[in-house]
Amino acid sequence: MPEVKEITHLKDLWNESEAQKMSGNQLALLRYRSNLLGADLRITNFGGGNTSSKLELPDPFTGRPVRVLAVKGSGGELGSITGAGFALLYLDRLEQLKELYRGEQHEDEMVRYYPLSAFGENRVAASIDTPLHAFLPFDHVDHLHPDWAIALAASANGKRKLEEFNKEFGRKIVWVPWQRPGFELALMIERAVKDSPGADGLILGGHGLFTWGMTQRDCYLNSIHTIDQMGEFISKHQSKKGSLFGGVEHVPAQDRKNIATQILPALRGVVSSNRRVVAHYADDEDALMFAASTWARELSSLGTSCPDHFLRTRVCPLYLPWNPAKEDVSILKARIQEEAVEYRASYKKYYDAWANADSPKLRDSNPSVVVVPGLGLFGFGKNKKEARITTEFFINAIHVMAGANALEDGDVSHPLPQARYAEQSQQFTQFHNYVALPRSEAFRIEYWALEEAKLQRMPAEAEFSRKIALVIGGASGIGREVALLLARKGAHIVVASISSSSRPPFIPFLALMVKSPKHNGRRPSWSMSPATISSPAKRNGYSKTRTCLLLWCSPVPPTP
Which residues of the shown chain bind Zn ion in the complex (CB under 5 A)? 208
- Pick 48 or 474: Cβ nearer Zn ion: 48
Q: Are 188 and 447 in contact (CB under 8 A)?
A: no
- Pick 181 or 403: Cβ nearer Zn ion: 181
Is the dihedral angle over the CA atoms 179, 184, 186, 188 positive or is it negative?
A: negative
- Pick 45 or 465: Cβ nearer Zn ion: 45
Is the peptide bond between 415 and the residue preceding it cis, with omega within 30 degrees of 0? Answer: yes
Q: What is the dihedral of CA 216, 221, 224, 227, to 10 degrees?
A: -110
How many Å from the N-terminal Cα to the C-terminal Cα in the chain?
Answer: 28
Pick from 468, 524, 464: which is nearest to 493 by CA? 468
CB of 223 to Zn ion, least distance (A): 14
CB of 304 to Zn ion, least distance (A): 13
- Pick 306 or 320: Cβ nearer Zn ion: 306
CB of 211 to Zn ion, least distance (A): 13
- Pick 208 or 505: Cβ nearer Zn ion: 208
- Pick 208 or 557: Cβ nearer Zn ion: 208
CB of 209 to Zn ion, least distance (A): 9
- Alpha-carbon separation of residue 93 from 79, 89, 101, 132 (angstroms): 29, 8, 13, 14
Helix 329-354 vs helix 439-446: crossing angle, to nearest 10: 90
- State residue 380 phi and psi, 5-degree precision: -130, 145
CB of 515 to Zn ion, least distance (A): 39
Residues 402 and 433: their CA atoms lie apart, in Å, by: 10
CB of 181 to Zn ion, least distance (A): 6
- Pick 129 or 228: Cβ nearer Zn ion: 129
CB of 203 to Zn ion, least distance (A): 12
CA 7 to chain CA centroid, nearest Å: 25
CB of 307 to Zn ion, least distance (A): 6
- Pick 161 or 207: Cβ nearer Zn ion: 207
Environment class of residue 66 by beta-carbon count within 10 Å: exposed (0-12), middle (13-18) or buried (19+)? middle
Environment class of residue 241 by beta-carbon count within 10 Å: exposed (0-12), middle (13-18) or buried (19+)? middle
Q: Are 520 and 542 in contact (CB under 8 A)?
A: no
Indicate the residue whose CB is closest to Zn ion: 208
